[in-house]
A = this chain, B = another copy of it.
Amino acid sequence: MAAAAALGEAARGTTAPNPNVGCVIVSPGGDLVGKGATGPGGRPHAEAVALAQASSATRGATLYTTLEPCAHPSQRGPTCSVIIPAAGISRVVVALIDPDQRTAGQGISMLRAEGIDVDVGAGAEVAKRSMAGYLTRLSLGRPRVTLKLALSIDGKIALPSGESKWITGEDARAHVHLERAHSDMILVGRGTYNADRPSLDVRLPGLEDRSPRRALLTRGDAVDGWEILSSPQDVYRLHDVNDLLVEGGSGVATAFLAADLVDRILIYRAPIFIGEGKSSVGYIGLDAIADAHGRWRVADGTHLGIDRLEVYERVRES
């Protein structure tokens, strides 16, 4: 399942509005005979790719998939819960039930009705993390919003002059490009657009074609090549975006945090003090320290060269 999850994660940012699923097929003898991930825009499905690769070696094999095989017919491709039994697969291991109401357990029922042994739950945590964008869209009706900030120890994003290049080092900036490659859309504020005219493209070898759609948060004029959000609430209109990366600046970060529309935060923390300078976040509606607590938890942390990445996740009652 770890191999299937890695395949699915590699496709994150390319499959919206479909989930980024990964799939591997293992022969009765223990050989990996097929592997696949969801194709660009959602088709072909990971299972169909893996079955095609395995060809005749599917008989009696075990299929591992990070999401329940689809149960609904589509003009864009075959129904996975039909072609898996047809290929002679004898066991299917599923990480997560698909919350899409067109499947939602019916895929598993169809497989079992064909005599296939189905296990559910292995690798569920990794699969949830990798498909968080898709799952957030289905449960909250909007993309998973990730806020990225490059900060000094004292939380500043620039000198009073606006100079911000470079707070973080090359390793951290490369990690940002990787995160871009795994996003469906990147959003910046009008101020950042005017100051930097950022291309927001992915500058990593082999991933140059993974540059996501670009959006501006502005009440002002449209800009060629950029989509427009006039307020953070407009994320509810983005039905074809699983992962939205909000890159700043301070006005955008403040607007999204004040609207409680951030699910994950990536802090690229440089080991420097800036002192007097631009704060990363302005007034977010907080009037007592106690009210600030219980909203965020440290989800991960790692060193990136001399910098450190802090990952926070919004704590939500589920």
Contacts and interface: CB of A to CB of B under 8 A. Distances in A.
B274 A289 contact: yes
Interface stretch (A18-26, A88-96, A163-171): A163-171
Interface string A123-162: 0000000000000000000000000000111111001000
A246 to B, nearest CB: 14
A154 B289 contact: no
A282 interface: yes
The range of chain A's interface size is 35 or more
Contact of A286 (B258, B273, B289, B303): B273
A292 B310 CA distance: 21
A273 B279 contact: no
Contact of A267 (B153, B272, B293): B153
A297 to B, nearest CB: 6
Nearest to A254: B275
Given A151-B155, A153-B265, A155-B155, A284 B273 contact: yes
A282 B289 contact: no
A285 to B, nearest CB: 8
A249 to B, nearest CB: 13
Contacts of A274: 281, 286, 289, 292
A281 B270 CA distance: 16
